Amino acid sequence: MRTFVKLATVALLVATTGFSPSAPTAAAVQDVTMLQSIGPLTFGPNDVLFAADTQGALIFALELGAAAKSGAPGAKDIAQIDQKIAALLGTDAAAIAVTDLAVHPTTKNAFIAVMRGQGADAKPALVRVDGNGKLEAIDLAALKSTRAALPNAPAATTARRNPRAESITDMSFVNGKLIVAGLSNEEFASKLRTIAYPFASVEPGTSVEIYHGNHGQLETRSPVYAFVPYNVSGTPHLIAGYLCTPLVKFPVASLSGTQKVVGTTIAELGAGNRPIDMIVYKKDGREFLLMSNTSRGVMKIPTEGFGSAAPITSRIGGTAGIGYETIASMTGIEQMDLLDAQRSIVLARASGALNLQAVPLP
């Protein structure tokens, strides 16, 4: 789930010079046309869209203004939306990569982050889909924004798994603060950061450790790939998903410092898999976590056991802890967000094409 970041010349400073964690890292009215990439997205207050530039290790708060509300309410199903986005951007579907999807909290328009082109020549774009099915490329150059730079981002490499690409893996705006998951360049690399908005400064963040039952060990170098805020027994927590797929809870209050925090593993949902998005919803008087994945389909997980689940602290094989149901009707899901109380909205691939669809919550 969900969810995004913008960049400017500070990216070069972060990459080439030292950076003081306590120094101010926000700047007003930046030229967002200089952002290098666009990845995770999430909405904040007053039509602000947070967008992550993982290449620049920067987060931009984009003030959408009229671009947030000028379309028809809702988001209409669009078949082969990848081809339509490519045509809008003056290219073909093979030359674009959709990197995230976020729903505006009031208009319910869908905002789609896109990289146009390949390799070093790829450029970021933001596309809105409204209730009439109209696609509009948002003029990034016309937007005001502020930005926050991560002070300890990992360096880019040519390795198959480039740690800079995971400097920001997911974001969510909670109670006036942006919570950011990703990697740092430190020994205990996995980070959860809480950044106050409006941006003023960015602290190094909290290193997080988990016990991974399928691996039989404590881990500090794998990032949180997807998370949602959720109150467990009345206390604010993050429910987080990792590679191979431990499900872990962290009290939000524990993330305010720079000490290492150990999460509580409440489920092992299967190896050979990575979470993509998470949403929480209510149906028939119960709450559920819906999690899309790269290899194990979409999982429907009841939340009532999050507070009482026994921690997983020893090696296990297969799955363990809180159970789940695989939603057979949801296949090929590449992006997902909550549309309203009855539906999710997904980007699903079928027969080689990417389709935008509103799907009833299971």
Q: In the predicted model, what is the mean pLDDT of the chain?
A: 91
Q: Residues 289-299: pLDDT tens digits?
A: 999 999 999 99
Q: Is 253 domain-assigned?
A: yes
What tokens appear for 361 in the block? 């919550």
Question: Does the structure show a pLDDT above 60 at 73?
Answer: yes
Question: Does the structure show a pLDDT above 90 at 17?
Answer: no
Question: Does the structure show a pLDDT above 80 at 31?
Answer: no
Mapped onto helix, strand or coil, the DSSP state of residue 41 is: strand
Domain that holds residue 314: 205-275+304-323
Q: Is 343 domain-assigned?
A: no
Q: Is 227 domain-assigned?
A: yes
Confidence tier at 160 by pLDDT (50, 70, 90): confident
Question: Does the structure show a pLDDT above 90 at 32?
Answer: no
What tokens appear for 275 in the block? 């979470």
Confidence tier at 35 by pLDDT (50, 70, 90): confident
Q: What is the mean pLDDT of residues 108-128?
A: 95
Stronger pLDDT, 161 or 255, i.e. the higher one: 255
Residue type, 232: V
Handedness of CA 233, 235, 240, 246 (dihedral sign): negative
Whether 8 and 57 have beta carbons less than 8 Å apart is answered as no
Q: Is 166 domain-assigned?
A: no
> CB-based burial of residue 56 (10 Å sphere; 0-12 exposed, 13-18 middle, 19+ buried)?
buried
Question: Does the structure show a pLDDT above 60 at 113?
Answer: yes
Closest CA to 354 of 136, 84, 1: 84
pLDDT at residue 191 in the model: 97
Q: Is 68 domain-assigned?
A: no
Question: Does the structure show a pLDDT above 70 at 347?
Answer: yes
Q: Residues 162-184: pLDDT tens digits?
A: 999 999 999 999 999 999 999 99
Cα–Cα distance for residue pair 75/96, rounded to 1 Å: 21
What tokens appear for 43 in the block? 């909405």
Q: What percent of the chain has pLDDT over 90?
A: 85
Q: Is 345 domain-assigned?
A: no
Confidence tier at 9 by pLDDT (50, 70, 90): very low
Q: Is 226 domain-assigned?
A: yes
Whether 133 and 110 have beta carbons less than 8 Å apart is answered as no
Q: What is the mean pLDDT of residues 267-294?
A: 98
The answer to whether the pTM exceeds 0.75 is: yes
Q: Residues 177-218: pLDDT tens digits?
A: 999 999 999 999 999 999 999 999 898 999 999 999 999 999
Q: How many residues does the chain have?
A: 362
Stronger pLDDT, 160 or 261, i.e. the higher one: 261
Stronger pLDDT, 161 or 210, i.e. the higher one: 210
Q: What is the mean pLDDT of residues 90-108?
A: 97
Ramachandran bin of 316, using left for φ above 0, alpha for ψ from -120 to 50, beta for the remaining angles: beta
Look at the chain and report how many structural domains it folds into.
1
Q: Residues 320-336: pLDDT tens digits?
A: 999 999 999 999 999 99
Q: What percent of the chain has pLDDT over 70?
A: 91
Q: Is 243 domain-assigned?
A: yes
pLDDT at residue 340 in the model: 97
Q: What is the mean pLDDT of residues 113-137?
A: 95
pLDDT at residue 256 in the model: 85
* Strand ranges for 138-244 from DSSP E: 144-149, 170-174, 177-183, 190-196, 206-212, 217-219, 226-232, 235-241
